[in-house]
Amino acid sequence: MFKSMYNWIDERLDITPLWRDVADHEVPEHVNPAHHFSAFVYCFGGLTFFLVVIQILSGMFLTMYYVPDINNAYLSVDYLQHKVAFGVIVRGMHHWGASLVIVMMFLHTLRVFFTGSYKAPREMNWVVGMLIFFVMLGLGLTGYLLPWDNKAYYATKVTLNIAGSVPVIGDYIQRLVNGGEIVGAQTLTRFFALHVFFLPGALLALLAGHFFMIRKQGISGPL
Ligand code: HEM
């Protein structure tokens, strides 16, 4: 049944060349763990992407309950955690996934570094990778404030004080990110917008560039 459905669509839209171009190509010998056990390090980028997808999906469900204002943020998270069916699982996935995805990304970066894959012609993809790295750290920072409990509040105070200690422009940066003089209502809405719209948008655009370049250039050769 699926085959005839597929054929019906394919006759009209000619989708076979599209997905063949994206998905139908051979894995080089030197990145295949079935041939060389140590080649499993080449899976780290793909595993990082898998975790990014988990973060996006679990985050989308969290926004069904989360309320980004200082009176309700903590209560909405508490409600989600203790009253909503599977809420504790969805929040747990997002919470633990947030740490795991950074660890995985770091391992992927180490693989790229130690196999020298940042060298020509892949310099631009290394630079895009660095931008991705900062966006991911930004997602961690902004997400940490959202539960609006003591840990979130004081952790953000500390990080923004660190930002404020930068010579000359520190004070300006701190007030810009704070949305004023203190970590308060403006900071929470600002961090929420950054966490669910600005940074994920930037991340998806950068990942599109990352994957485009990987397809164009192929995975780097064996050592
Ligand atoms: C969300 C974060 C990231 C994701 C999902 C991701 C994903 C991927 C994937 C799937 C590959 C194909 C090869 C492999 O899987 O190892 C790859 C390759 C590559 N990545 Fe990333 N990446 C991320 C972050 C980074 C960072 C932080 C850097 C460096 C600063 C970086 C630099 C590169 C380079 C240079 C390649 C080409 C490597 C080669 O051809 O051997 N990536 N990335």
- Find out whether the peptide bond into 121 is cis, omega within 30 degrees of 0: yes
Domain count, the chain: 1
Q: Is any atom of ligand 1 closer than 6 Å to the C-beta of 137? A: no
Atom 25 of ligand 1, residue of closest alpha carbon: 129
**Contacts within 8 Å (CB) and 24+ apart, 174-182:** none
pTM of the prediction?
0.94
Looking at residue 108, its pLDDT comes to: 98
Judge whether 194 lies within some domain.
Answer: yes
The verdict on residue 2 lying in a domain is no
Q: Which of 112, 119, 206 best tests ligand 1's pocket when mutated (most atoms within 8 Å of CB)? A: 112
pLDDT of residue 23: 86
Q: Could you list the residue range(s) of the whole structural domain that residue 75 is in?
A: 29-115+128-217
Q: What is the pLDDT of residue 25?
A: 85
Does 39 reside within a domain? yes
Contact predicate 191/73, CB 8 Å: no
In angstroms, rounded to a whole number, what is the distance separating the alpha carbons of residues 106 and 101?
8
In a domain, 158, yes or no: yes
10-residue stretch averages of pLDDT, the chain, 223 residues long = 96 96 87 91 97 98 98 98 98 98 98 97 98 98 98 97 97 95 96 98 98 95 87
118 within ligand 1 shell (Cβ under 6 A) = yes
39-43: long-range contacts, CB 8 A cutoff, minimum separation 24: 41/107, 41/111, 41/115, 42/111, 42/219
220 C-beta closer than 6 A to ligand 1: yes
Cβ(105) – ligand 1 distance below 6 Å: yes
**Has residue 201 been placed in a domain?**
yes
Residues in the chain: 223
- The answer to whether 66 touches 152, Cβ cutoff 8 Å, is no
**Other beta carbons within 10 Å of 223:** 8
Give nearest CA residue, ligand 1 atom 6. Answer: 45
200 ligand 1 Cβ < 6 A: no
Confirm whether 120 is domain-assigned: no
**Residue matched to tokens 């469900």:** 61
- CATH for 110: 1.20.810.10
Q: Indicate whether 176 belongs to any domain.
A: yes
Q: Note whether residue 4 is domain-resident.
A: no
State which of 102, 108, 114 you would mutate to test the pocket of ligand 1, scoring each by most atoms of that ligand within 8 A of its C-beta: 108
Residue 97 CA to ligand 1 center (angstroms) comes to 18
